A and B are shown apart, each in its own frame.
Chain A
Amino acid sequence: AQTVTQSQPEMSVQEAETVTLSCTYDTSESDYYLFWYKQPPSRQMILVIRQEAYKQQNATENRFSVNFQKAAKSFSLKISDSQLGDAAMYFCAYRSAAGSQGNLIFGKGTKLSVKP
C-alpha cells in the first residue's frame, strides 16, 4: 500500500520569505500523480500544484514550485515571497495511475504560519 509522510507538523515563515514543505512517499508503482492541497480555516480543499511522475521537469505555479525527486520518492513544495494568505494546512497527496480507484492518499499535513 502507498503511504505519504509529511515530517513537519508545523512550519513558520516570515512574510515575503521562502519556505519549503517536505513530503516523502512510498510506492512500488512507476506511474502516479502527486499533489499539494491547501486547506485554509474554511476547510475548503484547494489544489496548489500537481506533478505527473513521468515528467522529469518540476511543476511550477506562480509562487509555488516543487522539487520532485522520483528516485528518492520526495516531493517538496517551495513557496516563494510568502503572503499572509498562504497561512493554512498543506497536504501532500498521492494518486495511483493504475487501477480503477483514483482516490487520493494524504499525508498528515503541515500547518504553515506566516508572520507579518
Chain B
Amino acid sequence: GAVVSQHPSWVICKSGTSVKIECRSLDFQATTMFWYRQFPKQSLMLMATSNEGSKATYEQGVEKDKFLINHASLTLSTLTVTSAHPEDSSFYICSERSGLSSPLHFGNGTRLTVT
C-alpha cells in the first residue's frame, strides 16, 4: 500500500486564491519531505525541501513567499500556493526522504489548475 498520502489529487481554483496541498507519511516518521513540480511533458523539478520543525529550503528560482511550506509534525508536510496564477498550473508531487539507499516513495501528486 501507499506509504505517502497526498491530497487533493486534483484541484481547480480561481486566480488570486490560495490552495493547500497535504503530504502525509503513513508508515514512518518523515523529518524531511521533498516537493517537486512537473509541467506537462517535462521532468520533475525539485522546488523545496521541507524539514520538520524548521524552515524549508527552497531551490533557486522558487519564490518562498508564494510557495509556503509547513512541516509541523513528523508525518505531515503542506505546500500552500498563495495568490495562485494560471502559470502556477502544474502537477505537484511530494516524496519522503528515507534512508539514502532506499528509493523515495512518492505521493500520488496533485494536479493544480488555476483559471
Residues of chain A whose beta carbon lies under 8 Å from any beta carbon of chain B: 33, 35, 42-45, 47, 50, 52, 91, 95-97, 101-109
Contacts and interface: CB of A to CB of B under 8 A. Distances in A.
B11 interface: no
A97 B102 CA distance: 11
Contacts of A95: 100, 104
Contacts of A91: 43-44
Interface in B64-110: 91, 93, 95, 97, 100-101, 103-104, 106, 108-109
A104 B91 contact: no
Q: Give the interface size class of chain B.
A: 20 to 34
Interface string B40-53: 00111110010000
Contacts, number: 51
Contacts of B43: 91, 106-109
Interface of A is mostly: loop
A43 B109 contact: yes
A33 B100 contact: yes
